[in-house]
């Protein structure tokens, strides 16, 4: 088949726009429609659902979308692939069959399983104290391919890599072999771009003011060709935009260096080239692939204890003294000290402010402990009972309540051959999917040759974001910040200026941490991995911005000396 396969995506997370499935099916032609519903935090949420009811553990919103759109998808000949099965793909597949029967439509449903390792944590050396609630390996695309080859209209998976729901349809459509690594890598890159939904069409985009219509951005489409190259686009008439910038931003999201490893292939992000190929069309070409590593990543979520927080509003004068008094009073009067007690003072106050809100700072106290009673009433009552006995103007943003459970995410790695990968076909036949061979241990790329720096000249101290875009995100306790510019001269300045040490100076919170820089010349980008800035992950709530989504924007807001010649070109 020489014509590209058109794969649309209608979900980037559990909670994304419910109407997106219908919008994508009605908006234009598609061959496949995919949906990504899983994230590290989502697996914890689904794990808690399964504790309450063993028949749950999947993304219930997908079932609601299917009830609305299953008949439409079948009428249009669009096949659906989704990881909404979460911790219970067999359960979601059964629910879809029952839904099809109730709707009176003939839909064939298959699913992929084997990723759930929770019953094997001791055997695989994944045990911890407390024991994990979920343990799921990231599977690849070949189980999806087998289900599609068997004629499935809908394929439901558990934890596969986010891009796999796109790679599977492309590999099935073109009949790629397991060692067609360049083609697979191209599909992985296209999948990485569209799996987060509207982040590819202008959502969360650094230069969002340049996009005319962002009120309701359309969801993205990848037109993948037989050689693995692709064009990213969206349905006509939908909001947002597809530009080299929006695609670059998404390519940099939650990655590390030039090698982007997965269970089927390691994609070389440093080889990807982007070209604007018309309005709302960006071509991705040149992507090279290598054999995948011999291990699979495993997502472990543990219910680590209970957390609570109180946020005190400090207004006007003597902010530091008010914060110190509050901290002394709370800590001196706790009947039991929590295992963790974190204080953060956010100086949101302005001098001589013309509103009370802008004259106020926020003092946040977060308590964590394995005992819910320690962070429950014992903590909350102390935070409240000083309302008439503390600093002038005492108030809380809200009364603290009972302690809530929180989780901790950790990543582990196991030999791919030890993880079952099973395609359960529409007729119920279970087919084992072999691990990919050959494999190649993952190694970082050597530092590429850098362009010559700009000649010295006059500079002006302005915000980094005057020239540079950024996108940041979380990976467990770590965060990444991808930074890019749009011209060759800007690149010559950026790559010699924005070093790991420079990031530490600009972002003081990162100074005690390990910051590693990776250079991606074809994207005119540098990517930074900041280790440990998110503590034990998003579910533990260790930081004001627990998923590091704003970290890149903070960096863009910082001032540094930028050559006048670059600034003049933007004015």
Tally Cβ neighbours within 10 Å of residue 55. 12
Task: DSSP for 119-159, please give it.
Answer: GGTTTTT---SSPPSEEEE-B-SHHHHHHHHTT-SEEE-SS
On the question of pLDDT at 522 being above 60, the answer is yes
Cα–Cα distance between 129 and 122 in angstroms, integer? 12
What angle, rounded to 10 degrees, do the helices at 181-194 and 244-251 form?
Answer: 100
Decide: residue 383, CB within 10 A, 0-12 exposed, 13-18 middle, 19+ buried.
buried
> Model confidence over 369-382: pLDDT tens digits?
999 999 999 999 99
The CA–CA distances, whole Å, from 1 to 80, 225, 285 equal: 20, 9, 19
Domain-by-domain residue ranges, the chain? 5-299+411-432, 306-408, 459-570
Mean pLDDT of 131-154: 97
Is residue 259 helix, strand or coil?
A: strand
In this structure, the strands spanning 154-156 and 79-82 are: parallel
> Model confidence over 344-370: pLDDT tens digits?
999 999 999 999 999 999 999 999 999
> Model confidence over 541-567: pLDDT tens digits?
667 888 999 999 999 999 999 999 999
Do residues 181 and 249 touch, judged by C-beta distance below 8 A? no
The CA–CA distances, whole Å, from 373 to 196, 329, 383 equal: 39, 20, 15
Cα–Cα distance between 517 and 521 in angstroms, integer? 13
Cα–Cα distance between 230 and 192 in angstroms, integer? 12
> Model confidence over 257-291: pLDDT tens digits?
899 999 999 999 999 999 999 999 999 999 999 99
Q: Which pLDDT belongs to residue 98?
A: 98
Token pair of 520 as six digits: 């991606």
Name the residue among 211, 234, 232 with its Cα closest to residue 24.
234
H helices within 195-266, ranges in order?
Answer: 244-251
Name the residue among 119, 149, 114, 150 with its Cα closest to residue 132.
119
Torsions phi, psi of 151, nearest 5? 95, 15
Do residues 458 and 563 touch, judged by C-beta distance below 8 A? yes
Decide: residue 103, CB within 10 A, 0-12 exposed, 13-18 middle, 19+ buried.
middle
- Site of tokens 């359309």: 218
Sign, CA dihedral 220-292-87-550, equals: negative
On the question of pLDDT at 461 being above 60, the answer is yes
Mean pLDDT of 39-67: 94
> Model confidence over 62-89: pLDDT tens digits?
999 999 999 999 999 999 999 999 999 9
CATH of domain 306-408: 3.30.70.380
Share of the chain above pLDDT 90, in %: 92
> Model confidence over 233-246: pLDDT tens digits?
999 999 999 999 99
- Site of tokens 């957390």: 307
With residue 223 as reference, give the H or E element that holds it: strand 220-224
Token pair of 111 as six digits: 């699913």
Tally Cβ neighbours within 10 Å of residue 341. 17
Q: Which pLDDT belongs to residue 535?
A: 85
Is residue 286 helix, strand or coil?
A: coil
pLDDT band at residue 570, thresholds of 50, 70 and 90?
Answer: confident
Token pair of 228 as six digits: 């693995």
Cα–Cα distance between 435 and 266 in angstroms, integer? 14
Q: Which pLDDT belongs to residue 476?
A: 85
On the question of pLDDT at 475 being above 90, the answer is no
Cα–Cα distance between 71 and 75 in angstroms, integer? 6
Q: Which pLDDT belongs to residue 45?
A: 93
Q: Which pLDDT belongs to residue 542?
A: 65
Cα–Cα distance between 365 and 378 in angstroms, integer? 14
Torsions phi, psi of 24, nearest 5? -70, -35
On the question of pLDDT at 1 being above 60, the answer is no
Cis peptide bond upstream of 324, omega within 30? no
Mean pLDDT of 130-159: 97
Angle at 158 between CA 153 and CA 161, to 5 degrees: 100
Q: Which pLDDT belongs to residue 142?
A: 98
On the question of pLDDT at 338 being above 70, the answer is yes
Predicted TM-score (pTM) of the model is: 0.95
Cβ-proximal residues to 121 (8 Å cutoff; 6+ apart), any chain: 127, 128, 131, 132, 135
Is residue 101 helix, strand or coil?
A: helix
Q: Which pLDDT belongs to residue 159?
A: 98
The CA–CA distances, whole Å, from 147 to 71, 109, 143, 181 equal: 20, 9, 6, 21
> Model confidence over 383-418: pLDDT tens digits?
999 999 999 999 999 989 888 999 989 999 999 999
Mean pLDDT of 184-211: 98
Q: Which of 38-42, 324-328, 549-553 has the lowest mean pLDDT?
A: 38-42
Cα–Cα distance between 204 and 528 in angstroms, integer? 19
> Model confidence over 443-457: pLDDT tens digits?
999 989 999 999 999
Q: Which pLDDT belongs to residue 2?
A: 76
Mean pLDDT of 498-505: 98
Name the residue among 319, 335, 321, 322 with its Cα closest to residue 367.
335
Cβ-proximal residues to 374 (8 Å cutoff; 6+ apart), any chain: 306, 336, 337, 338, 339, 367, 403
């Amino acid at each position: 088949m020489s014509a590209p396969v058109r794969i649309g995506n209608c979900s980037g997370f559990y909670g994304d726009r419910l109407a997106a499935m219908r919008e994508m099916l009605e908006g234009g032609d598609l061959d496949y429609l995919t949906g990504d519903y899983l994230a590290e935090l989502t697996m914890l949420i689904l794990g808690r659902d399964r504790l309450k009811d063993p028949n749950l553990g999947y993304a219930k919103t997908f079932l609601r979308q299917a009830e609305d759109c299953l008949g439409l998808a079948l009428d249009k000949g669009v096949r659906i692939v989704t990881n909404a099965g979460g911790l219970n793909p067999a359960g979601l597949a059964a629910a879809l069959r029952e839904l099809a029967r109730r709707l009176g439509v003939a839909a064939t449903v298959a699913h992929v399983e084997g990723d759930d390792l929770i019953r094997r944590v001791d055997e695989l050396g994944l045990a911890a104290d407390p024991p994990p609630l979920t343990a799921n390996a990231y599977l690849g695309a070949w189980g999806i391919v087998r289900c599609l080859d068997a004629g499935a209209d809908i394929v439901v998976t558990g934890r596969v890599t986010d891009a796999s729901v796109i790679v599977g349809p492309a590999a099935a459509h073109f009949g790629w072999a397991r060692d067609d690594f360049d083609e697979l890598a191209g599909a992985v890159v296209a999948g990485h771009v569209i799996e987060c939904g509207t982040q590819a069409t202008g959502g969360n985009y650094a230069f969002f003011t340049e996009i005319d219509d962002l009120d309701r951005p359309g969801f993205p489409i990848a037109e993948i060709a037989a050689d693995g190259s692709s064009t990213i686009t969206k349905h006509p008439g939908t909001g947002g935009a597809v530009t080299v910038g929006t695609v670059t931003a998404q390519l940099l999201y939650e990655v590390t260096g030039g090698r982007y490893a997965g269970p089927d292939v390691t994609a070389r992000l440093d080889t990807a080239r982007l070209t604007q190929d018309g309005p709302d069309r960006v071509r991705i070409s040149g992507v090279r692939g290598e054999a995948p590593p011999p291990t699979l990543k495993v997502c472990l979520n543990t219910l680590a204890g209970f957390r609570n927080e109180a946020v005190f509003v400090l207004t006007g004068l003597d902010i530091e003294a008010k914060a110190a008094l509050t901290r002394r009073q709370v800590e001196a009067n706790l009947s039991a000290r929590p295992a963790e007690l974190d204080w953060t003072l956010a100086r949101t106050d302005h001098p001589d402010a013309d509103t009370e809100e802008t004259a106020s700072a926020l003092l946040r106290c977060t308590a964590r402990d394995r005992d819910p009673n320690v962070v429950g009433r014992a903590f909350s009552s102390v935070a409240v009972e000083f309302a008439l006995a503390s600093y002038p103007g005492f108030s809380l943003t809200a009364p603290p309540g009972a302690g809530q459970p929180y989780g901790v995410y950790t990543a582990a790695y196991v030999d791919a051959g030890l993880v079952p990968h099973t395609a359960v076909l529409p007729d119920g036949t279970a087919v084992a999917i072999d691990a990919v061979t050959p494999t190649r241990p993952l190694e970082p790329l050597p530092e590429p040759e850098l362009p010559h720096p700009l000649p010295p000249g006059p500079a002006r101290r302005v915000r980094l974001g005057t020239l540079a875009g950024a996108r940041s995100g979380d990976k467990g306790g770590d965060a990444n910040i991808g930074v890019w510019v749009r011209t060759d001269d800007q690149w010559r300045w950026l790559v010699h200026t924005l070093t790991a040490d420079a990031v530490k100076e600009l972002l003081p919170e990162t100074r005690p941490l390990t910051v590693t820089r990776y250079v991606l010349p074809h994207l005119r980008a540098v990517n930074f991995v900041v280790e440990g800035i998110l503590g034990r992950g998003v579910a533990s709530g260790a930081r004001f911005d627990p998923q590091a989504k704003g970290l890149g924007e903070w960096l863009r807001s910082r001032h540094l000396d930028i050559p006048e010649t670059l600034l003049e070109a933007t004015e």
